[in-house]
Structure 1
């Protein structure tokens, strides 16, 4: 049985920034794409989400979180899914092929 006294304490301080987010007063449907949404609708929704993010006091913390956790869905820190994916791809070092020594 796991000794509870040996478990690490709560890490809520890592999430406290979310309490200050401007998005807390806006419905999640502004930030997350419904399955039936078309491209034109998606652009409009994403622009609305970005307007909320633009004035948010924790926009950079939100963006850092989404990039660090590779958040796959929604607008986070003013960046769409595609924008975050493009940033992450540019950050990845070029793959170096593994060379295996030839058998002697």
Structure 2
């Protein structure tokens, strides 16, 4: 991610295919494609309540998105440090994903673990 310039997960990234069975351009099907970036990347300085509300809006969109898995895997693979991707914040991703470069396959494994843990907790 460019320093200080948020990218909307479903709109601004170059294509990042992760293997057979996934569309090469997954973001074309992203529910957030035409959404408000502030929901996914609340501006710094917002109070905690406003940030939580924005993250809740983003999670709702992500939970109904047909490409949640590749979105989350992309964030893991690219080591995105900001924003809600695939329904998880950067802090949530950091709790499971090790620091350092991962292969696309490993990014998928961690995305699956995170999505499973979120669905079990719901």
Say yes or no: TM over 0.5. Answer: yes
Contact 2:15 2:27 (C-alpha < 8 Å) held by counterparts: no
What is the RMSD of the two structures over their aligned residues, measured on CA atoms? Answer: 1.9
> CA distance change for structure 1 residues 12 and 33 in 2, over 3 Å: closer, same or farther?
closer
Matched, 1:46 2:55: yes
State the alpha-carbon separation in 2 of the partners of residues 12 and 81 from structure 1. Answer: 21
Length, aligned pairs only? 80
Distance in 2 (alpha carbons) for counterparts of 1:64 and 1:22: 16
Mark the runs of 5 or more structure 1 residues left unpaired by the alignment. 1-10, 91-104
Cα displacement (A) at 1:25: 2.5
1:30-69 aligned within 5 A:
30-69=39-78
2:25 alignment counterpart: 16
Give the distance between the partners of 1:82 and 1:50, measured in 2 at CA.
14
Residue 33 to residue 13, structure 1, CA distance change in 2 (3 Å): closer
1:72, CA displacement in angstroms?
0.6
Q: Which has the higher Rg, Structure 1 or Structure 2?
A: 1
Q: Normalising by structure 1, what TM-score? A: 0.70
Stretches (4+) displaced over 2 A: 11-15
